[in-house]
Structure 1
Amino acid sequence: MNFERHMDEYLLFLSVEKGLSQSSIESYSQDLKQYLSFLEDNGVSEYNDIDTELLILFLKVLKESGRSGKTLSRMQSTLRNYHQFLLNENITSKNPALRLQSVKEDKKLPVYLTVEEMETLLRTPDDSRAGSRDRAMMELLYASGLRVSEIIDISMTDLNIALGFIKVRGKGSKERIVPMTDYVGRLLQEYMETHRLELLKDDHTDALFITNRGKGFTRQGLWKTIKKYELLSGIGKNITPHTFRHSFATHLIENGADLRAVQEMLGHSDISTTQIYTQISAVKIREMYKRFHPRK
Protein backbone atom coordinates (compact mmCIF):
# COMPACT_ATOMS: atom_id res chain seq x y z
CA MET A 1 0.00 0.00 0.00
CA ASN A 2 1.28 3.47 -0.89
CA PHE A 3 1.41 5.10 2.54
CA GLU A 4 3.10 8.26 1.29
CA ARG A 5 0.38 8.95 -1.29
CA HIS A 6 -2.29 8.71 1.41
CA MET A 7 -0.26 11.02 3.64
CA ASP A 8 -0.05 13.59 0.83
CA GLU A 9 -3.82 13.32 0.31
CA TYR A 10 -4.38 13.92 4.00
CA LEU A 11 -2.11 16.97 4.07
CA LEU A 12 -3.97 18.37 1.07
CA PHE A 13 -7.25 17.75 2.92
CA LEU A 14 -5.94 19.69 5.94
CA SER A 15 -4.89 22.58 3.73
CA VAL A 16 -7.94 22.84 1.47
CA GLU A 17 -10.80 21.54 3.61
CA LYS A 18 -9.63 22.51 7.09
CA GLY A 19 -7.79 25.71 6.13
CA LEU A 20 -4.79 25.00 8.36
CA SER A 21 -1.73 27.22 8.14
CA GLN A 22 1.46 26.12 6.40
CA SER A 23 3.26 25.78 9.74
CA SER A 24 0.51 23.43 11.02
CA ILE A 25 0.71 21.39 7.81
CA GLU A 26 4.48 21.08 8.31
CA SER A 27 3.96 19.83 11.88
CA TYR A 28 1.50 17.17 10.71
CA SER A 29 3.87 16.20 7.91
CA GLN A 30 6.80 15.70 10.30
CA ASP A 31 4.65 13.64 12.69
CA LEU A 32 3.33 11.39 9.93
CA LYS A 33 6.76 10.86 8.39
CA GLN A 34 7.98 9.54 11.76
CA TYR A 35 4.93 7.30 12.00
CA LEU A 36 5.21 5.90 8.48
CA SER A 37 8.93 5.27 9.00
CA PHE A 38 8.03 3.30 12.15
CA LEU A 39 5.49 1.24 10.20
CA GLU A 40 8.07 0.48 7.51
CA ASP A 41 10.67 -0.55 10.12
CA ASN A 42 8.14 -2.94 11.64
CA GLY A 43 7.20 -4.53 8.31
CA VAL A 44 3.65 -3.15 8.20
CA SER A 45 2.31 -2.89 4.65
CA GLU A 46 -1.47 -2.62 5.24
CA TYR A 47 -3.41 -0.14 7.37
CA ASN A 48 -5.77 -2.88 8.53
CA ASP A 49 -2.79 -4.67 10.10
CA ILE A 50 -2.32 -1.75 12.51
CA ASP A 51 -3.86 -2.24 15.95
CA THR A 52 -3.92 -0.20 19.15
CA GLU A 53 -1.01 -2.19 20.63
CA LEU A 54 1.22 -1.20 17.70
CA LEU A 55 0.35 2.47 18.20
CA ILE A 56 1.14 2.16 21.91
CA LEU A 57 4.52 0.69 20.97
CA PHE A 58 5.16 3.61 18.62
CA LEU A 59 4.36 6.15 21.36
CA LYS A 60 6.52 4.20 23.82
CA VAL A 61 9.47 4.37 21.40
CA LEU A 62 9.00 8.13 21.14
CA LYS A 63 8.81 8.50 24.92
CA GLU A 64 11.98 6.46 25.45
CA SER A 65 13.77 8.68 22.94
CA GLY A 66 13.10 11.63 25.23
CA ARG A 67 9.99 13.19 23.66
CA SER A 68 7.94 15.37 25.99
CA GLY A 69 4.40 14.72 27.11
CA LYS A 70 3.25 17.61 24.93
CA THR A 71 4.87 16.03 21.86
CA LEU A 72 3.34 12.63 22.63
CA SER A 73 -0.09 14.19 23.11
CA ARG A 74 0.19 15.97 19.76
CA MET A 75 1.33 12.77 18.05
CA GLN A 76 -1.60 10.87 19.53
CA SER A 77 -3.99 13.49 18.16
CA THR A 78 -2.26 13.24 14.76
CA LEU A 79 -2.70 9.46 14.71
CA ARG A 80 -6.36 9.67 15.69
CA ASN A 81 -7.18 12.28 13.05
CA TYR A 82 -5.14 10.58 10.32
CA HIS A 83 -6.71 7.17 10.82
CA GLN A 84 -10.17 8.76 10.95
CA PHE A 85 -9.47 10.36 7.58
CA LEU A 86 -8.42 6.97 6.18
CA LEU A 87 -11.61 5.45 7.54
CA ASN A 88 -13.81 8.20 6.11
CA GLU A 89 -12.15 7.76 2.71
CA ASN A 90 -12.73 3.97 2.83
CA ILE A 91 -8.98 3.36 2.65
CA THR A 92 -9.15 1.34 5.87
CA SER A 93 -11.93 -0.33 7.84
CA LYS A 94 -11.08 0.84 11.38
CA ASN A 95 -9.46 3.57 13.46
CA PRO A 96 -7.09 1.86 15.91
CA ALA A 97 -6.18 5.18 17.53
CA LEU A 98 -9.65 5.68 19.04
CA ARG A 99 -8.83 3.37 21.95
CA LEU A 100 -5.62 5.17 22.91
CA GLN A 101 -5.74 6.70 26.38
CA SER A 102 -4.88 10.38 26.51
CA VAL A 103 -1.24 11.15 27.27
CA LYS A 104 -0.75 13.61 30.10
CA GLU A 105 1.13 16.66 28.92
CA ASP A 106 3.94 18.22 30.91
CA LYS A 107 2.04 21.33 31.91
CA LYS A 108 4.36 24.28 32.38
CA LEU A 109 2.89 27.55 33.54
CA PRO A 110 3.60 30.25 30.95
CA VAL A 111 5.95 33.10 31.76
CA TYR A 112 4.14 36.37 32.36
CA LEU A 113 4.97 39.82 33.70
CA THR A 114 3.44 41.44 36.75
CA VAL A 115 1.49 44.66 36.16
CA GLU A 116 4.46 46.63 37.52
CA GLU A 117 6.94 44.81 35.25
CA MET A 118 4.70 45.38 32.24
CA GLU A 119 4.47 49.09 33.01
CA THR A 120 8.27 49.24 33.24
CA LEU A 121 8.65 47.47 29.89
CA LEU A 122 6.11 49.69 28.14
CA ARG A 123 7.93 52.83 29.37
CA THR A 124 11.25 51.63 27.93
CA PRO A 125 10.96 52.84 24.27
CA ASP A 126 12.14 56.41 23.66
CA ASP A 127 10.25 59.13 21.75
CA SER A 128 12.05 58.58 18.45
CA ARG A 129 10.20 57.49 15.32
CA ALA A 130 11.07 53.82 15.86
CA GLY A 131 10.55 54.07 19.63
CA SER A 132 7.05 55.54 19.25
CA ARG A 133 6.17 52.77 16.81
CA ASP A 134 7.53 50.10 19.15
CA ARG A 135 5.60 51.51 22.13
CA ALA A 136 2.35 51.46 20.12
CA MET A 137 3.09 47.90 18.97
CA MET A 138 3.84 46.61 22.48
CA GLU A 139 0.86 48.45 23.99
CA LEU A 140 -1.37 46.79 21.39
CA LEU A 141 0.14 43.37 22.14
CA TYR A 142 -0.61 43.82 25.84
CA ALA A 143 -4.05 45.36 25.29
CA SER A 144 -5.26 42.66 22.90
CA GLY A 145 -3.39 39.42 23.65
CA LEU A 146 -2.64 38.86 19.97
CA ARG A 147 -0.34 36.14 18.68
CA VAL A 148 2.84 37.12 16.82
CA SER A 149 1.41 36.03 13.46
CA GLU A 150 -1.75 38.02 14.13
CA ILE A 151 -0.16 41.35 14.97
CA ILE A 152 2.23 41.33 12.00
CA ASP A 153 -0.74 40.45 9.77
CA ILE A 154 -2.86 43.44 10.85
CA SER A 155 -3.58 45.82 7.99
CA MET A 156 -4.78 49.40 8.12
CA THR A 157 -8.29 48.32 7.12
CA ASP A 158 -8.51 45.92 10.09
CA LEU A 159 -8.59 48.81 12.58
CA ASN A 160 -11.70 50.62 13.76
CA ILE A 161 -10.33 53.12 16.24
CA ALA A 162 -13.64 55.00 16.58
CA LEU A 163 -15.42 51.85 17.82
CA GLY A 164 -12.34 50.47 19.58
CA PHE A 165 -11.81 47.10 17.95
CA ILE A 166 -9.52 45.19 15.58
CA LYS A 167 -10.44 42.48 13.09
CA VAL A 168 -7.96 39.63 13.59
CA ARG A 169 -7.23 36.59 11.42
CA GLY A 170 -6.23 33.75 13.73
CA LYS A 171 -5.38 30.08 13.35
CA GLY A 172 -7.08 28.36 10.43
CA SER A 173 -7.85 31.82 8.94
CA LYS A 174 -10.64 32.25 11.50
CA GLU A 175 -11.60 35.88 12.00
CA ARG A 176 -12.50 37.38 15.36
CA ILE A 177 -13.10 40.85 16.76
CA VAL A 178 -10.76 41.97 19.56
CA PRO A 179 -11.36 45.14 21.60
CA MET A 180 -8.71 47.72 22.37
CA THR A 181 -8.56 50.55 24.89
CA ASP A 182 -9.03 54.21 24.07
CA TYR A 183 -5.42 54.82 25.14
CA VAL A 184 -4.07 52.31 22.61
CA GLY A 185 -6.41 53.77 19.99
CA ARG A 186 -4.88 57.22 20.51
CA LEU A 187 -1.33 55.81 20.29
CA LEU A 188 -2.16 54.02 17.04
CA GLN A 189 -3.87 57.10 15.59
CA GLU A 190 -0.81 59.23 16.35
CA TYR A 191 1.54 56.57 14.94
CA MET A 192 -0.46 56.21 11.71
CA GLU A 193 -0.71 59.96 11.14
CA THR A 194 3.00 60.64 11.70
CA HIS A 195 5.64 57.93 12.12
CA ARG A 196 4.07 55.29 9.87
CA LEU A 197 3.99 57.74 6.98
CA GLU A 198 7.63 58.62 7.62
CA LEU A 199 8.66 54.94 7.68
CA LEU A 200 6.59 53.94 4.65
CA LYS A 201 8.62 53.52 1.47
CA ASP A 202 6.15 51.43 -0.53
CA ASP A 203 2.67 52.92 -0.94
CA HIS A 204 1.31 49.44 -1.60
CA THR A 205 2.24 48.18 1.88
CA ASP A 206 -0.96 47.93 3.91
CA ALA A 207 0.68 46.48 7.05
CA LEU A 208 -0.06 48.49 10.18
CA PHE A 209 3.44 48.25 11.64
CA ILE A 210 6.32 49.21 9.34
CA THR A 211 10.01 48.49 9.91
CA ASN A 212 12.80 51.03 9.44
CA ARG A 213 13.20 49.58 5.94
CA GLY A 214 9.63 50.47 5.04
CA LYS A 215 8.31 46.91 5.03
CA GLY A 216 5.94 44.96 7.22
CA PHE A 217 7.38 43.15 10.25
CA THR A 218 8.38 39.48 10.16
CA ARG A 219 8.12 37.15 13.15
CA GLN A 220 11.88 37.36 13.62
CA GLY A 221 11.86 41.14 13.36
CA LEU A 222 9.20 41.48 16.04
CA TRP A 223 11.03 38.97 18.27
CA LYS A 224 14.28 40.96 17.99
CA THR A 225 12.47 44.19 18.81
CA ILE A 226 10.97 42.72 22.00
CA LYS A 227 14.37 41.28 23.00
CA LYS A 228 15.89 44.74 22.63
CA TYR A 229 13.48 46.18 25.18
CA GLU A 230 13.86 43.16 27.45
CA LEU A 231 17.55 44.06 27.83
CA LEU A 232 16.93 47.80 28.15
CA SER A 233 14.22 47.35 30.79
CA GLY A 234 16.40 45.30 33.13
CA ILE A 235 13.41 43.21 34.24
CA GLY A 236 15.44 39.98 34.19
CA LYS A 237 12.83 37.68 32.65
CA ASN A 238 12.81 35.91 29.29
CA ILE A 239 10.37 38.17 27.43
CA THR A 240 9.01 37.20 24.01
CA PRO A 241 6.03 38.49 22.00
CA HIS A 242 3.99 35.65 23.53
CA THR A 243 4.78 36.96 27.04
CA PHE A 244 2.43 39.87 26.30
CA ARG A 245 -0.34 37.39 25.46
CA HIS A 246 0.24 35.45 28.68
CA SER A 247 0.31 38.67 30.73
CA PHE A 248 -2.86 39.95 29.04
CA ALA A 249 -4.83 36.81 29.92
CA THR A 250 -3.39 36.46 33.43
CA HIS A 251 -4.12 40.06 34.40
CA LEU A 252 -7.69 39.87 33.06
CA ILE A 253 -8.45 36.70 35.03
CA GLU A 254 -6.77 38.04 38.17
CA ASN A 255 -9.13 41.01 37.98
CA GLY A 256 -12.24 38.85 37.65
CA ALA A 257 -12.75 38.60 33.87
CA ASP A 258 -15.06 35.83 32.65
CA LEU A 259 -13.09 32.82 31.38
CA ARG A 260 -15.30 32.44 28.29
CA ALA A 261 -14.73 36.07 27.35
CA VAL A 262 -10.96 35.64 27.69
CA GLN A 263 -11.17 32.48 25.57
CA GLU A 264 -12.99 34.44 22.85
CA MET A 265 -10.46 37.27 22.88
CA LEU A 266 -7.50 34.87 22.72
CA GLY A 267 -9.10 32.88 19.91
CA HIS A 268 -8.81 29.54 21.75
CA SER A 269 -11.01 26.83 20.25
CA ASP A 270 -10.98 24.85 23.52
CA ILE A 271 -11.56 26.50 26.91
CA SER A 272 -9.17 24.02 28.54
CA THR A 273 -6.35 25.94 26.83
CA THR A 274 -7.52 29.15 28.49
CA GLN A 275 -7.83 27.51 31.91
CA ILE A 276 -4.03 27.42 32.27
CA TYR A 277 -4.27 31.09 33.27
CA THR A 278 -6.56 30.28 36.20
CA GLN A 279 -3.79 27.98 37.44
CA ILE A 280 -1.36 30.92 37.41
CA SER A 281 -3.77 32.89 39.59
CA ALA A 282 -4.14 29.94 41.97
CA VAL A 283 -0.36 29.59 42.31
CA LYS A 284 -0.08 33.30 43.04
CA ILE A 285 -2.77 33.12 45.71
CA ARG A 286 -1.00 30.18 47.41
CA GLU A 287 2.30 32.08 47.40
CA MET A 288 0.68 35.16 48.93
CA TYR A 289 -1.07 33.00 51.55
CA LYS A 290 2.15 31.28 52.61
CA ARG A 291 3.97 34.59 52.72
CA PHE A 292 1.51 36.60 54.77
CA HIS A 293 -0.56 34.22 56.89
CA PRO A 294 0.61 34.50 60.54
CA ARG A 295 0.28 30.74 61.20
CA LYS A 296 2.90 29.55 58.69
Structure 2
Amino acid sequence: MNNQLIDQFIDFYWLTTGASQNTLSAYRSDLKIFSNWLKDIPFENVNRLLVNEYFSYRKDSKLSASSQSRILTCLHSFFQYLIEHQVITNDPTDQMNYPKLDKKLPIFLNIQEVEKLMNAPNINSTIGQRDRAMIELLYSCGLRVSELINLSFHNINLKDEFIRVHGKGNKERMLPLGEISIDYLAAYEKNVRPLLLKNGQCDSYFLSNRGSAMSRQNFFYIIKGYAAQAGIDKTISPHSLRHAFATHLVQKGADLRSVQLMLGHSDISSTQLYTHIQNAHLKTQHQKHHPRG
Protein backbone atom coordinates (compact mmCIF):
# COMPACT_ATOMS: atom_id res chain seq x y z
CA MET A 1 0.00 0.00 0.00
CA ASN A 2 2.86 2.38 0.83
CA ASN A 3 4.39 1.97 -2.65
CA GLN A 4 1.04 2.66 -4.29
CA LEU A 5 0.64 5.90 -2.31
CA ILE A 6 4.15 6.96 -3.31
CA ASP A 7 3.40 6.41 -7.01
CA GLN A 8 0.12 8.33 -6.75
CA PHE A 9 1.84 11.22 -4.97
CA ILE A 10 4.65 11.46 -7.55
CA ASP A 11 2.10 11.61 -10.38
CA PHE A 12 0.11 14.25 -8.50
CA TYR A 13 3.21 16.30 -7.70
CA TRP A 14 4.33 16.26 -11.32
CA LEU A 15 0.88 17.31 -12.61
CA THR A 16 0.46 20.13 -10.07
CA THR A 17 4.00 21.55 -9.96
CA GLY A 18 5.60 20.57 -13.27
CA ALA A 19 8.67 19.49 -11.28
CA SER A 20 11.71 18.24 -13.20
CA GLN A 21 12.48 14.55 -13.60
CA ASN A 22 15.49 15.02 -11.32
CA THR A 23 13.26 16.33 -8.52
CA LEU A 24 10.68 13.60 -9.06
CA SER A 25 13.37 10.91 -8.99
CA ALA A 26 14.88 12.35 -5.80
CA TYR A 27 11.46 12.51 -4.09
CA ARG A 28 10.58 8.98 -5.16
CA SER A 29 13.90 7.73 -3.79
CA ASP A 30 13.45 9.64 -0.51
CA LEU A 31 10.00 8.18 0.04
CA LYS A 32 11.09 4.63 -0.88
CA ILE A 33 13.96 4.78 1.63
CA PHE A 34 11.60 6.12 4.30
CA SER A 35 9.04 3.40 3.51
CA ASN A 36 11.71 0.67 3.72
CA TRP A 37 12.85 2.04 7.08
CA LEU A 38 9.25 1.90 8.33
CA LYS A 39 9.11 -1.80 7.32
CA ASP A 40 5.53 -2.91 8.02
CA ILE A 41 4.30 0.41 9.43
CA PRO A 42 1.78 2.05 7.05
CA PHE A 43 2.02 5.78 6.36
CA GLU A 44 -1.30 6.25 8.17
CA ASN A 45 0.39 5.30 11.47
CA VAL A 46 3.40 7.59 11.18
CA ASN A 47 3.65 10.17 13.98
CA ARG A 48 6.10 12.91 14.96
CA LEU A 49 8.13 10.54 17.13
CA LEU A 50 8.70 8.16 14.22
CA VAL A 51 9.75 10.99 11.91
CA ASN A 52 12.23 12.27 14.52
CA GLU A 53 13.63 8.75 14.93
CA TYR A 54 14.02 8.51 11.17
CA PHE A 55 15.99 11.76 10.96
CA SER A 56 18.20 10.64 13.86
CA TYR A 57 18.86 7.45 11.91
CA ARG A 58 19.75 9.42 8.74
CA LYS A 59 21.99 11.85 10.66
CA ASP A 60 23.98 8.89 11.98
CA SER A 61 24.69 7.94 8.37
CA LYS A 62 26.38 11.33 7.83
CA LEU A 63 23.54 12.76 5.74
CA SER A 64 24.25 16.39 4.82
CA ALA A 65 22.08 19.24 6.12
CA SER A 66 20.95 20.07 2.57
CA SER A 67 19.83 16.46 2.00
CA GLN A 68 18.00 16.43 5.34
CA SER A 69 16.26 19.65 4.33
CA ARG A 70 15.20 18.16 0.98
CA ILE A 71 13.86 15.02 2.66
CA LEU A 72 11.84 17.07 5.15
CA THR A 73 10.37 19.13 2.29
CA CYS A 74 9.52 15.91 0.45
CA LEU A 75 7.86 14.30 3.49
CA HIS A 76 5.93 17.47 4.27
CA SER A 77 4.56 17.65 0.69
CA PHE A 78 3.73 13.95 0.80
CA PHE A 79 1.84 14.10 4.10
CA GLN A 80 -0.04 17.20 2.95
CA TYR A 81 -1.10 15.18 -0.10
CA LEU A 82 -2.30 12.36 2.17
CA ILE A 83 -4.34 14.86 4.23
CA GLU A 84 -5.95 16.32 1.09
CA HIS A 85 -6.91 12.81 -0.02
CA GLN A 86 -8.22 11.90 3.44
CA VAL A 87 -5.69 9.14 4.05
CA ILE A 88 -4.48 10.83 7.28
CA THR A 89 -5.78 13.69 9.43
CA ASN A 90 -2.52 15.15 10.79
CA ASP A 91 0.83 15.97 9.20
CA PRO A 92 3.60 14.55 11.46
CA THR A 93 6.15 16.92 9.89
CA ASP A 94 4.10 20.05 10.59
CA GLN A 95 6.20 22.84 12.16
CA MET A 96 9.34 20.68 12.27
CA ASN A 97 12.53 22.75 12.17
CA TYR A 98 14.70 22.56 9.09
CA PRO A 99 18.41 21.89 9.66
CA LYS A 100 20.65 24.94 9.54
CA LEU A 101 22.43 25.08 6.20
CA ASP A 102 25.99 26.28 5.80
CA LYS A 103 26.09 29.32 3.53
CA LYS A 104 28.82 28.32 1.11
CA LEU A 105 29.52 30.74 -1.71
CA PRO A 106 29.76 28.95 -5.06
CA ILE A 107 32.99 28.75 -7.02
CA PHE A 108 32.81 31.23 -9.88
CA LEU A 109 35.13 32.44 -12.61
CA ASN A 110 36.46 35.97 -12.86
CA ILE A 111 36.34 37.75 -16.22
CA GLN A 112 39.91 36.79 -17.14
CA GLU A 113 39.19 33.10 -16.42
CA VAL A 114 36.02 33.23 -18.53
CA GLU A 115 38.08 34.62 -21.41
CA LYS A 116 40.63 31.80 -21.01
CA LEU A 117 37.83 29.22 -21.05
CA MET A 118 36.25 30.82 -24.11
CA ASN A 119 39.53 30.72 -26.01
CA ALA A 120 40.31 27.09 -25.14
CA PRO A 121 38.27 25.41 -27.95
CA ASN A 122 39.97 25.22 -31.36
CA ILE A 123 37.51 27.18 -33.51
CA ASN A 124 39.24 25.90 -36.66
CA SER A 125 37.70 22.49 -35.93
CA THR A 126 34.07 21.42 -36.19
CA ILE A 127 33.83 20.32 -32.56
CA GLY A 128 35.71 23.40 -31.36
CA GLN A 129 33.22 25.70 -33.11
CA ARG A 130 30.32 23.86 -31.48
CA ASP A 131 31.91 23.97 -28.04
CA ARG A 132 32.76 27.67 -28.32
CA ALA A 133 29.15 28.43 -29.30
CA MET A 134 27.84 26.46 -26.32
CA ILE A 135 30.18 28.16 -23.85
CA GLU A 136 29.40 31.60 -25.29
CA LEU A 137 25.65 31.02 -25.00
CA LEU A 138 25.93 29.58 -21.48
CA TYR A 139 27.79 32.66 -20.26
CA SER A 140 25.86 35.18 -22.38
CA CYS A 141 22.48 34.14 -20.95
CA GLY A 142 23.35 32.52 -17.60
CA LEU A 143 21.59 29.28 -18.52
CA ARG A 144 21.33 26.16 -16.43
CA VAL A 145 23.09 23.30 -18.21
CA SER A 146 19.74 21.48 -18.55
CA GLU A 147 18.30 24.56 -20.27
CA LEU A 148 21.26 24.69 -22.66
CA ILE A 149 21.18 21.07 -23.75
CA ASN A 150 17.36 21.02 -24.00
CA LEU A 151 17.23 23.96 -26.41
CA SER A 152 15.37 23.17 -29.61
CA PHE A 153 16.17 24.73 -32.96
CA HIS A 154 12.98 26.79 -32.87
CA ASN A 155 13.90 28.23 -29.42
CA ILE A 156 16.64 30.41 -30.92
CA ASN A 157 15.96 33.52 -32.98
CA LEU A 158 19.24 35.03 -34.14
CA LYS A 159 17.50 37.61 -36.33
CA ASP A 160 15.56 39.14 -33.43
CA GLU A 161 18.43 38.40 -30.98
CA PHE A 162 16.63 36.36 -28.32
CA ILE A 163 16.19 32.79 -27.11
CA ARG A 164 13.19 31.13 -25.47
CA VAL A 165 14.10 29.00 -22.45
CA HIS A 166 12.01 26.50 -20.49
CA GLY A 167 13.35 26.46 -16.93
CA LYS A 168 12.35 24.76 -13.69
CA GLY A 169 8.67 23.91 -13.49
CA ASN A 170 8.57 24.39 -17.29
CA LYS A 171 8.45 28.17 -16.73
CA GLU A 172 9.24 30.01 -19.94
CA ARG A 173 11.44 33.09 -20.15
CA MET A 174 12.84 35.15 -23.02
CA LEU A 175 16.49 36.15 -22.87
CA PRO A 176 18.44 38.64 -25.00
CA LEU A 177 21.48 37.44 -26.94
CA GLY A 178 24.76 39.34 -26.97
CA GLU A 179 26.40 40.21 -30.28
CA ILE A 180 29.42 37.96 -29.72
CA SER A 181 27.30 34.92 -28.90
CA ILE A 182 25.13 35.60 -31.97
CA ASP A 183 28.24 35.50 -34.20
CA TYR A 184 29.34 32.14 -32.81
CA LEU A 185 25.82 30.69 -32.95
CA ALA A 186 25.40 31.83 -36.56
CA ALA A 187 28.71 30.16 -37.49
CA TYR A 188 27.61 26.99 -35.68
CA GLU A 189 24.25 26.91 -37.49
CA LYS A 190 25.87 27.46 -40.89
CA ASN A 191 29.07 25.45 -40.71
CA VAL A 192 28.77 22.85 -37.95
CA ARG A 193 25.24 21.71 -37.15
CA PRO A 194 24.52 20.40 -40.70
CA LEU A 195 27.71 18.30 -40.52
CA LEU A 196 26.83 16.88 -37.09
CA LEU A 197 23.27 16.15 -38.22
CA LYS A 198 24.65 13.79 -40.92
CA ASN A 199 21.45 13.96 -42.99
CA GLY A 200 19.44 12.83 -39.96
CA GLN A 201 16.61 14.52 -38.10
CA CYS A 202 17.02 16.03 -34.62
CA ASP A 203 15.28 19.11 -33.22
CA SER A 204 17.91 19.61 -30.49
CA TYR A 205 19.98 22.71 -31.19
CA PHE A 206 23.32 21.43 -29.90
CA LEU A 207 24.32 18.01 -31.20
CA SER A 208 26.83 15.39 -30.16
CA ASN A 209 29.35 13.80 -32.50
CA ARG A 210 26.73 11.13 -33.25
CA GLY A 211 24.16 13.67 -34.43
CA SER A 212 21.93 13.26 -31.38
CA ALA A 213 21.17 15.67 -28.53
CA MET A 214 24.12 16.68 -26.38
CA SER A 215 23.94 15.08 -22.93
CA ARG A 216 24.50 16.79 -19.58
CA GLN A 217 27.34 14.38 -18.73
CA ASN A 218 29.10 14.91 -22.05
CA PHE A 219 29.03 18.68 -21.73
CA PHE A 220 30.25 18.46 -18.12
CA TYR A 221 33.36 16.60 -19.30
CA ILE A 222 33.82 19.08 -22.16
CA ILE A 223 33.90 22.03 -19.73
CA LYS A 224 36.24 20.20 -17.33
CA GLY A 225 38.60 19.45 -20.21
CA TYR A 226 38.73 23.02 -21.44
CA ALA A 227 39.22 24.35 -17.89
CA ALA A 228 42.27 22.10 -17.47
CA GLN A 229 43.53 23.11 -20.92
CA ALA A 230 43.14 26.80 -19.99
CA GLY A 231 45.06 26.30 -16.74
CA ILE A 232 42.11 27.24 -14.53
CA ASP A 233 42.94 25.87 -11.09
CA LYS A 234 39.38 25.67 -9.79
CA THR A 235 36.86 22.85 -9.52
CA ILE A 236 34.30 24.09 -12.03
CA SER A 237 31.29 22.78 -13.89
CA PRO A 238 28.91 24.24 -16.50
CA HIS A 239 27.01 25.84 -13.59
CA SER A 240 30.13 27.91 -12.81
CA LEU A 241 29.44 29.97 -15.94
CA ARG A 242 25.90 30.69 -14.70
CA HIS A 243 27.40 31.92 -11.44
CA ALA A 244 29.93 34.00 -13.39
CA PHE A 245 27.16 35.52 -15.54
CA ALA A 246 25.18 36.67 -12.48
CA THR A 247 28.19 37.79 -10.46
CA HIS A 248 29.62 39.88 -13.29
CA LEU A 249 26.23 41.53 -13.90
CA VAL A 250 25.98 42.49 -10.22
CA GLN A 251 29.58 43.72 -10.21
CA LYS A 252 28.79 45.95 -13.19
CA GLY A 253 25.75 47.45 -11.44
CA ALA A 254 22.79 45.42 -12.72
CA ASP A 255 19.77 45.53 -10.38
CA LEU A 256 18.86 42.31 -8.59
CA ARG A 257 15.33 42.16 -10.00
CA SER A 258 16.67 42.09 -13.58
CA VAL A 259 19.22 39.43 -12.68
CA GLN A 260 16.46 37.41 -10.98
CA LEU A 261 14.34 37.48 -14.15
CA MET A 262 17.26 36.49 -16.38
CA LEU A 263 18.22 33.59 -14.11
CA GLY A 264 14.61 32.43 -13.76
CA HIS A 265 14.68 32.46 -9.96
CA SER A 266 11.19 32.28 -8.45
CA ASP A 267 12.43 33.91 -5.22
CA ILE A 268 14.78 36.91 -5.15
CA SER A 269 16.47 35.50 -2.05
CA SER A 270 18.19 33.02 -4.38
CA THR A 271 19.53 35.93 -6.44
CA GLN A 272 20.80 37.78 -3.37
CA LEU A 273 23.56 35.20 -3.17
CA TYR A 274 25.39 37.20 -5.82
CA THR A 275 25.51 40.32 -3.66
CA HIS A 276 27.24 38.15 -1.02
CA ILE A 277 29.78 37.07 -3.64
CA GLN A 278 30.30 40.71 -4.62
CA ASN A 279 30.77 41.73 -0.97
CA ALA A 280 33.22 38.88 -0.39
CA HIS A 281 35.15 39.93 -3.50
CA LEU A 282 35.32 43.56 -2.34
CA LYS A 283 36.51 42.47 1.12
CA THR A 284 39.26 40.35 -0.45
CA GLN A 285 40.35 43.25 -2.67
CA HIS A 286 40.40 45.63 0.32
CA GLN A 287 42.51 43.24 2.39
CA LYS A 288 44.87 42.65 -0.51
CA HIS A 289 45.42 46.20 -1.70
CA HIS A 290 44.61 48.63 1.13
CA PRO A 291 47.64 49.63 3.26
CA ARG A 292 45.60 48.98 6.40
CA GLY A 293 43.64 46.03 5.03
- TM-score using structure 1 length: 0.93
SS at match of 1:166: strand
Corresponding residue for 1:289? 286
Corresponding residue for 2:196? 199
SS at match of 1:97: coil
Paired with 1:252 and 1:293, the residues of 2 have a C-alpha distance of: 25
Q: Gapped runs of 5+ residues in structure 1?
A: none
Paired with 2:16 and 2:87, the residues of 1 have a C-alpha distance of: 18
SS at match of 2:276: helix
Paired with 2:195 and 2:29, the residues of 1 have a C-alpha distance of: 43
The 8 Å contact of residues 210 and 217 in structure 1, kept in 2 or not, is answered as yes
Corresponding residue for 1:215? 212
Paired with 1:178 and 1:46, the residues of 2 have a C-alpha distance of: 45
Aligned mate of 2:179, from 167, 179, 182: 182
* Displacement after TM superposition at 1:54 (Å): 2.8
* Displacement after TM superposition at 1:129 (Å): 1.6
Q: Gapped runs of 5+ residues in structure 2?
A: none
The 8 Å contact of residues 68 and 106 in structure 1, kept in 2 or not, is answered as no
* Displacement after TM superposition at 1:17 (Å): 3.0
The 8 Å contact of residues 200 and 211 in structure 2, kept in 1 or not, is answered as no
Percent identity between the two aligned chains = 39
The 1:50/1:17 distance shift into structure 2, 3 A limit, reads same
How do 1:65-84 residues align onto structure 2 when only pairs under 5 Å count?
Answer: 65-84=61-80
Q: Are 2:255 and 1:255 equivalent residues in the alignment?
A: no
* Displacement after TM superposition at 1:223 (Å): 1.4
Corresponding residue for 2:118? 122
Corresponding residue for 2:161? 164
How many residues in Structure 1 have an aligned counterpart in Structure 2?
292
Corresponding residue for 2:16? 17
Q: Are 2:238 and 1:241 equivalent residues in the alignment?
A: yes
* Displacement after TM superposition at 1:46 (Å): 5.3
Runs of 4+ that moved beyond 4 A: none
The 8 Å contact of residues 56 and 100 in structure 1, kept in 2 or not, is answered as no
How do 1:42-53 residues align onto structure 2 when only pairs under 5 Å count?
Answer: 44-45=41-42, 47=44, 49-53=45-49
